Chain A
């Protein structure tokens, strides 16, 4: 398995533009998570899905952020319109159901987003 695959690795965009981050989880994993990491706030959970269904989006900072998981092998995180304070590294992670290997997460390599 190639692990959790995220694209793009780097994204530079202008304020006000729409940004779409993509994630392919590990096949067979039931959970998918989106995290954001900044120096000031560390790793923050934004939203997670269980069997493609969004379960908790309380970490999504505001309505400009949205996430979808149309099938078990693909998820997107969209920011529209983007703002400079959205600049961060965005990680996607997937995990099997709890109880299997303790539900250990596998993270992708992240997308470094810079909004200018």
Chain B
């Protein structure tokens, strides 16, 4: 699975959009981009995933660049409850063992 690079931490004002970047320059053609988040004292939570088209669900939007070497997770109207560590993971959905490997993630602090 391709490695990812994320900023260690970010701040965002409550009510504003939070844009979390992720670099994955070694991504291969069949690898998907997954985003999870972990709120303090909870298990990681699946947010969204995509291959090359932009994706949107009730939680967030995922924008993947045309060359697929980077992506951005967008929380359109961040709330205090969105304060968490956000993990960007690149993997084949049917990789050996369906394993998910977590890096350091981005610690997002939403401030009032």
A105 adjacent to B46 (CB under 8 Å): yes
A108/B99 in contact, CB under 8 A = no
Q: What is the interface residue range for chain A against chain B?
A: 20 to 34
Q: How many A-B residue pairs have CB under 8 A?
A: 59
Which chain A residues border B97 with CB–CB below 8 Å?
31, 48, 50, 55-56
Instruction: Tell me whether A87 is interfacial, beta carbon within 8 Å.
Output: no
Given contacts A45-B99, A56-B97, contact A102 B43 (CB under 8 A): no
Q: How far is the CA of A103 from the CA of B34 in the complex (A)?
A: 10
Q: Is the CB of B32 within 8 A of A102?
A: yes
Complex partner residue of A109 from B32, B36, B42, B93, CB under 8 angstroms: B42
Q: Which of A61-69, A71-79, A91-99 contacts B (4 or more CB under 8 A)?
A: A91-99
Assess whether A105 is in contact with B93, with CB atoms less than 8 Å apart.
no
Does B45 sit at the interface, judged by CB under 8 A?
Answer: yes
When each residue 22-50 of chain A gets 1 if its CB lies under 8 Å from chain B and 0 otherwise, what string results? 00000000010100000000110100101
Find out whether the CB atom of A107 lies under 8 angstroms from the CB atom of B98: no
Chain A positions within 8 Å of B32 at CB level: 102
A81 interface contact, C-beta 8 A: no
In terms of DSSP, what is the predominant structure of the interface of chain A? strand
Interface of B is mostly: loop
| Complex interface bits, B72-93 against A, C-beta within 8 A gives 1, otherwise 0 | 0000000000000000000001
**A4, A33, A107 pick with most chain B CB within 10 angstroms:** A107
Q: Is residue A104 contacting chain B, with contact meaning CB distance below 8 A?
A: yes
Report the minimal beta-carbon distance from A68 to chain B, rounded to whole angstroms: 18
User: What is the CB-to-nearest-CB distance from B57 to chain A, in angstroms, rounded to a whole number?
Assistant: 11
Say yes or no: is A13 at the interface (Cβ < 8 Å to chain B).
no
Residues of B within 8 A of A55 (CB): 97
In the assembled complex, A7 has its CB within 8 A of some CB on chain B = no
Report if A106 contacts B (CB, 8 A). yes
Q: Which of the segments B4-12, B16-24, B100-108 contacts the partner chain?
A: B100-108
Asked whether B100 lies within 8 Å of A102 as measured between CB atoms, the reply is no
Chain A residues lying within 8 Å of B103, measured Cβ to Cβ, are 42
Contacts of B46 in A (CB 8 A): 104-106
Interface residues of B (CB under 8 A from A): 32, 34, 36, 41-46, 49, 93-95, 97-104
